[in-house]
Chains A and B, each alone.
Chain A
Amino acid sequence: MASLTSVVKTADFILSRPTLSKVVVPIAKTFVAYAGYREMGLKFNDLIMEESPILQKAIRRLPEDESYARNFRIITAHQCALSHHLLPPNKVVKPEEDNHYLVPYILEAEKEAFEKAELDNIQV
């Protein structure tokens, strides 16, 4: 998997070009609408694969309330999956609530890991 740092860099590049973002942003919005994770009470950052040392580190560093909210959303989604129901429209995660609460922590953890790898292999 590409590192999240490169993903964020690409996204920033796309958003900085008006023509490119005019094409890509609507596609992204359609993708999100069809992905349907918001109907199960999740935010996009809850979907990032967490079985890696960097993600574990990032999740551990979340503030207590964010961490609680994340677990609550994941449990809600499990319940929805088990009962084959979607959330009622008033409980669905709104687009403005779907923020990148975890991304800054991942970026910091990745930066540390990259720096460590660089310093471990440094040639003097």
Chain B
Amino acid sequence: MLSRVTARTYSTAAQGLKVSSRDASGKLSKLTVVVNNAGSKAGKTGLAHLLSKSNFLNTETKSALRFNRESELLGGVYSSSVTRDSIVLSTQFLKEDLPYYVEELGNVLTKTSFRPHEFTEIVVPVAKAEFANANESNEFKALESLHEISFRRGLGHPLYYDGLNKITVDEVKQFASEVYNTSNVSLYASGVNEEDLNKFINESALSALPSGASKSVPVKSYEGAESRIKAAGGSVALIGVPVKPADFGKYEVLSAAVGSAFLPGHPGALSSIPGATSKLLKYQDAGLFVVSVANKSGAAVADGIRQAKKILESVSSSDLSNATKSAELSVALQSTFSHPLSYKAEASPVKVDKFNYVAVGDVDALPYANEL
């Protein structure tokens, strides 16, 4: 059965912690803690990834093993991940176990012990494995490189810890104490009773979350850069345009007009090229409009990216106005409870003559940016 949203409320429990909750039918509850300004754009490169892997480990009140086993017995699942903007802790469980998970999330945010042996035995190996796993994919490598040349610092930092720079457990602990505060942390609860939730928050360590200033990371974007990485596996070519948050609506329409990765049922002109899609990556203070062509054969990608460039240049204003509705659908599809998107799709011509270009894979076959 589809979960029916009966109410959506915002409240400010305990000292400015931002809480959004909604009730839903069904037996499932979800608690998501989003820590803004704590993603890989903040701090030293890799620090945020290591912090995200340190979540749900030993706390002062409970060991990691005990929490894991208790969670298994309750039938809940939990995970902690890092994005460029934020660290996201998500839990999913049966409705009656709400107090347990509220308490545990509070303990994770305020009372994690950061034991040195856990750092070397668990956190770093897991982080390195995640990095290695992600880098198996040339698409991921290409996107990382595109971010690096488009933003350099901040959003251009690598998403994961690569193991090359030395980070100590004390630095991670220090970073945690800087970012886990009420101005950064927001709690999204779905399938819960708001009154109960507020009561449990006040009883838990979440109410003891320190208040602090949220430090936003300055964003500066660059255009006209190019990067080429020789790699085994398939070839990927990306055209990327850094986008200001005010222009998200325009680029969303452009993406829908040429063929968006989020709208597989609405093929645009890009669908004639095998392995080509476009999407708008949206962050807090900037975005990145990406047109990608991926294929096993380097020659096919070389052809594809040249055609994709032509398609981008030849988008007419009638194409854009026709795609407005599709763009609105695309925004609605990407909007989630914990990441609500609220901008209007807007059909207005955008220039893509200055762009960043990344070629990964068979670079002998792939064209240079000025050869497109």
Contacts and interface: CB of A to CB of B under 8 A. Distances in A.
Interface of A: 61, 63, 108, 112, 115-116, 119, 122, 124
Contacts of A116: 65
Nearest to A58: B117
11 contacts: A61-B116, A61-B117, A108-B117, A112-B63, A112-B65, A115-B63, A116-B65, A119-B65, A119-B66, A119-B69, A124-B73
Interface residues of B, number: 7
For B66, B73, B117, the residue with the greatest tally of chain A CB atoms inside 10 Å of its CB is B117
Interface string B110-134: 0000001100000000000000000
A122 B66 CA distance: 11
B66 A115 contact: yes
Contacts of B65: 112, 115-116, 119
B90 to A, nearest CB: 24
A110 B73 CA distance: 24
Interface of B: 63, 65-66, 69, 73, 116-117
Interface of A, helix, strand, loop or mixed by DSSP: helix
Contacts of B117: 61, 108
Contacts of A63: 116
Contacts, number: 15
- Which of A115, A116, A119, A122 lies at the interface centre, i.e. has the most chain B CB atoms within 10 A of its CB? A119
The 6 closest A-B pairs by CB, nearest first: A61-B117, A119-B69, A115-B63, A124-B73, A116-B65, A115-B65
Contacts of B66: 115, 119
Given A112-B63, A115-B63, A122 B116 contact: no
Contacts of A108: 117
A108 to B, nearest CB: 8
Given A116-B65, A119-B65, A119-B69, 12 more contacts: A61-B116, A61-B117, A63-B116, A108-B117, A112-B63, A112-B65, A115-B63, A115-B65, A115-B66, A119-B66, A122-B69, A124-B73
A61 to B, nearest CB: 4
Nearest to B63: A115
B115 to A, nearest CB: 8
A63 B117 CA distance: 10
Nearest to B120: A61
Nearest to A118: B66
Contacts of A124: 73
B64 to A, nearest CB: 10
A23 B69 CA distance: 45
B96 to A, nearest CB: 16
A107 to B, nearest CB: 13
A112 B66 CA distance: 10
A108 B63 CA distance: 11
A22 B26 CA distance: 67
A34 to B, nearest CB: 36
Nearest to A119: B69
Nearest to A122: B69
Contacts of A61: 116-117
A51 to B, nearest CB: 20
